[in-house]
Amino acid sequence: MRRKVTEEIIEIPRHVALIMDGNGRWAQQRGLPRLAGHRAGAESAHRLLGAGLGFGLKIATLYGFSIENWQRPWEEVTGLFRIFEEFIDKYTQELHQNGAQLRHLGRLEGLPESLVEKIKWVMELTRDNDRLIVNFAFNYGGRAEIVDAAKRVIEAYRRGELALDALDEGLFERYLYTAALPEVDLIIRTGGEKRLSNFLLWQSAHAYFYSTPVYWPDFDEEELRKALVAYSQRRTGVRTIKNGIKTSL
């Protein structure tokens, strides 16, 4: 699907994944505690989802809390849990009314019981929505996902539900957290870094990577548009259309 924005053609990717980096540095520059940056980042996530709906995105995966984040100070970890719960409380009904289906990617083990219950509630509430699928990767790790999938494959084999000769990449994907979803088309990372940080390793094998120095709390609709334009340029080889004339890369 293509959409014209000013003079540029955008080919909308099916699946956009976002590494929401820079919250801590954003707060530090303003003399604020790191949790203030994370809370501002949650508001940015809400704005981004609204912008995504406007652009016609179908699947968005947001990297909210990695398995490695457990190594951070406990005050910051528990603060991130509270912020995610607050996000659910504040925006679930709005997202539900706008047709968003909310999913969780990652391990529920170890998370606070109150957060686990809210995650299960929001997934059940929105399960039939299909305008936008929103995956929250929380307590997530790409390697852990592949290991968990391998364990499920072994369990299926032991139950006699799977023949090893039938196992291929397509079948293995059914055991990932993202089963039945298409692979990632575009990864956006804010904050200037240019690495995956153990995020959607399997699903991103053929994804385009877009890095911006903008910190996540400042990532808005215009910044999303820039990322989609860059994706379109790399996909189509067409930079702009002016007066009916295509300018090629």
pLDDT, tens digit, 9 for 90 and up, residues 55-68 = 999 999 999 999 99
Q: Is residue 167 part of a domain?
A: no
Q: Is residue 211 part of a domain?
A: yes
Using only C-alpha atoms, the chain has a radius of gyration, in whole angstroms, of 19
pLDDT at 236: 80
Q: Is residue 46 part of a domain?
A: yes
- In terms of phi and psi (left: phi > 0; alpha: psi -120 to 50; beta: otherwise), the region of 149 is alpha
pLDDT, tens digit, 9 for 90 and up, residues 113-130 = 999 999 999 999 999 999
Q: For this structure, is 21 an active site residue?
A: yes
Q: Is residue 28 part of a domain?
A: yes
Q: Is residue 87 within 8 Å of 166, Cβ to Cβ? A: no
What token pair was written down for 239? Answer: 């930079």
Q: Is residue 172 part of a domain?
A: no
**Is the pLDDT score of 211 beyond 80?**
yes
Q: Give CA 134 to chain center in angstroms.
A: 7
**17 phi, psi to nearest 5 deg:** -115, 140
CA distance 223 to 229: 10
Q: Is residue 155 part of a domain?
A: no
CA distance 14 to 182: 8
Q: Is residue 146 part of a domain?
A: no
Which among 69, 98, 129, 198 is annotated as catalytic?
A: 69
Could you tell me what percent of the chain has a pLDDT over 90?
Answer: 89
Contacts of 199 (CB under 8 A, 6+ apart): 17, 19, 63, 66, 137, 140, 142, 187
DSSP 179-230: TTSPPPSEEEE-TT--S--SSSTTTTTT-EEEE-SS-GGG--HHHHHHHHHH
C-alpha distance from residue 227 to each of 13, 169, 173, 174 (Å): 11, 29, 27, 29
For residue 102, the enclosing domain spans: 2-140+182-248
Q: For this structure, is 168 an active site residue?
A: no
pTM of the model: 0.90
Average pLDDT, the chain: 92
Q: Is residue 42 part of a domain?
A: yes
pLDDT at 102: 98
Q: Give CA 56 to chain center in angstroms.
A: 16
pLDDT, tens digit, 9 for 90 and up, residues 130-180 = 999 999 999 999 999 999 999 999 999 999 999 989 999 999 999 999 999
Which among 21, 135, 139, 185 is annotated as catalytic?
A: 21
Domain count for the chain: 1
- List the CATH number of the domain containing 11: 3.40.1180.10
